[in-house]
Chains A and B, each alone.
Chain A
């Protein structure tokens, strides 16, 4: 883990979207919202068709050999772009924090060079908006009470700090309520949720309770996997709290409310 995000780059107004495999398949609303926000800000978005998966699930479970072809696929796909944007803190974290070690393991100096060049240009959505484009008001409107859960990978791997909150607070009509124990892990942790289900559910239940206690209508985060875990517990508890990705709140407008 590093302590700082990438250097502030020249603002490339043409970006490649890395939708991430889970979002593409399970939560397409999130990359769709990402496209809408970026296009509204005048950014040209491209979607390189041959993209698949960052390999995080493999790496974090110990299957490094299985992850290496995906690392190669990722850099092949995204090397030509000056900026890559993904609406998933954990996938960006895996790219920026783990690819170098995987490339070393591959023993292929070409892959190591490609990884070195590509990975610093991969941004999580809030990083791209605030650090690269320099905007916090993205012209969104969302008249609801929301609370924000900073996922561990956005908080401690990418160190996005309060960038998502800056973006949320600039949304028209929104009421942002502070979440007690916000920086505590929700217990998702990829395959941890399956391998240590009892502990994972205990952690997630505490998180869900804290969210309910805020009285918010919507819980927002930058990782749909964490949200699905928290949301799955909230729904099981019939809490009535909705869960939404940051991108979807930012895409919401008065004309087309989310």
Chain B
């Protein structure tokens, strides 16, 4: 649900709960803007390179990392191949453990289910522990429209929410914000959202964290309903798992009376043995730690302890369509560790917002067009938001061959455009193919090039070129072509031999 589709004013006094990604410009434009923002580039570079280094160190400690990656990929593939069975088992076990299971085909249905559940409790605010699925379906906006304020409790998400901004990283949504910016957001916005920040707040990390802690503590103690996501769902036992660093998630998962977990259907793993593999891979790949500080696991309702009213909403929202593509489905292995973002040279310059969804970076470039369909300009541009350098594939703990998926999706973009009016690009590509499909044609065209080169004798570079080559020549010198092609040289020196 986009901001313009709201039926009533948001309940959140801060403004919109979090800005949405709807109506984002296509990647090249958004990225070009970001490239011009040197502060953003510095923040991103510093953060990604720091995590990158830590990740490399702890990955190197594991003697069988490659074997572990291969196992994780195999488990995911096998699970996805029989996803329906595993989901039925999960539902059975969850129900037996006292939880209520709901199925949501798309974002709208998922939002309606959660909103109804919240409204039945009569509250007008909920606390949330980091959940990408709820951001994907834009739950905060839907709740706001129903008069319910949804408060993010992950520190970085809180910063993004109070700043009326959008997340720009999977793990560190406020990666693009500097310390002083965060201080300003806290000082100006916290009071409207609950407990105000202290008047003498400095931009020391400890002071900022303390302000957030006090602010959030008040909300945890007040909240009667929590909304969570899950990193994994073990089918065998009906157990949901959340990994986090701050402990705020644990507060959400234990204090409120009602817990509603919104979980993408690809999060299921069959057994605890399988889970073991991912628990080894995820913290190392994401935060560069051997183990994350908090791992919370819950199975339905525990009598007199924790939430007594437990719901799990299993969300499809395009996932079964992705599953139908034998190449593209590999993207559903993703465990949202963000390792691919941190090594991606394009993400490092373009920033997360340019990808136009809650899933930025290389995984966003292959997941978003598949989940939403290759429909709009943004979705069509995302498969091209990569130089195909392959660093993402090497970093990915579940071995998603992102470069291969990018090329595959580019082919889909072109194939789907074949029925319409031919673009300038497709015309150029077809004439180039005509040229290259016959060596005699190529040789004749080369004669044109060398003739031109002789006219340019003495120059070292070509200067400005007309569109579309101007995209190249505006920043880079263009070499003058040679006066003799290789073919001509070969004919001159090796004639008659081959």
Contacts and interface: CB of A to CB of B under 8 A. Distances in A.
Interface stretch (B215-223, B332-340, B389-397): B389-397
Nearest to A66: B433
Interface stretch (B26-34, B135-143, B307-315): B26-34
B498 A46 contact: yes
Interface in A1-60: 1, 19, 21, 23-29, 31-32, 35, 46-53, 55, 57-60
Given A21-B442, A194-B471, A60 B388 contact: yes
B498 A199 contact: no
Given A52-B439, A196-B31, A61 B498 contact: no
A183 to B, nearest CB: 8
A27 B432 CA distance: 19
A185 B387 contact: yes
A196 B436 contact: no
B419 interface: no
A83 to B, nearest CB: 15
Given A26-B482, A196-B28, A198-B35, A53 B436 contact: yes
Interface in B472-490: 472, 474-479, 481-482, 484-490
Contacts of B403: 1
B410 interface: yes
A74 B17 CA distance: 56
Contacts of A191: 384
B4 interface: no
Contacts of A187: 345, 387
A153 B430 CA distance: 25
B446 interface: yes
B345 A24 contact: no
B476 A204 contact: yes
A232 B476 CA distance: 4
A12 B414 CA distance: 40
Nearest to A183: B391
Nearest to A237: B477
A233 B475 contact: yes
Contact of A192 (B387, B409, B413): B387
Pick from B387, B413, B437, B439 the residue with the most CB of A within 10 Å. Answer: B387
A172 interface: no
A23 B404 CA distance: 25
Interface string B346-378: 100110000000000000000000000000000
A235 B459 CA distance: 13
Contacts of A19: 486-487
A164 interface: no
Binding site secondary structure of chain A? helix
Contact of A48 (B35, B442, B498): B498
Nearest to B409: A62
Given A1-B390, A152-B390, A189-B388, A58 B446 contact: no
Given A25-B485, A73-B437, A62 B414 contact: yes
A236 B484 contact: no
Contacts of A136: none
B393 A25 contact: no
Nearest to B433: A66
Given A62-B410, A156-B391, A24 B446 contact: yes
Interface in A176-196: 183-185, 187-196
22 contacts: A19-B486, A24-B487, A25-B481, A26-B481, A49-B498, A59-B407, A62-B383, A62-B413, A152-B388, A152-B391, A156-B393, A185-B389, A191-B384, A196-B27, A196-B31, A196-B346, A196-B385, A198-B28, A202-B35, A203-B346, A231-B477, A232-B472
Which 6 A-B residue pairs are closest in the complex by CB-CB distance? A189-B387, A232-B476, A62-B410, A185-B389, A156-B390, A62-B414
Interface of B: 27-28, 31-32, 35-36, 41, 345-346, 349-350, 383-391, 393-394, 401, 403-404, 407, 409-415, 425-426, 429-430, 432-433, 436-439, 442, 446, 449, 460-461, 468-469, 471-472, 474-479, 481-482, 484-490, 494, 497-498
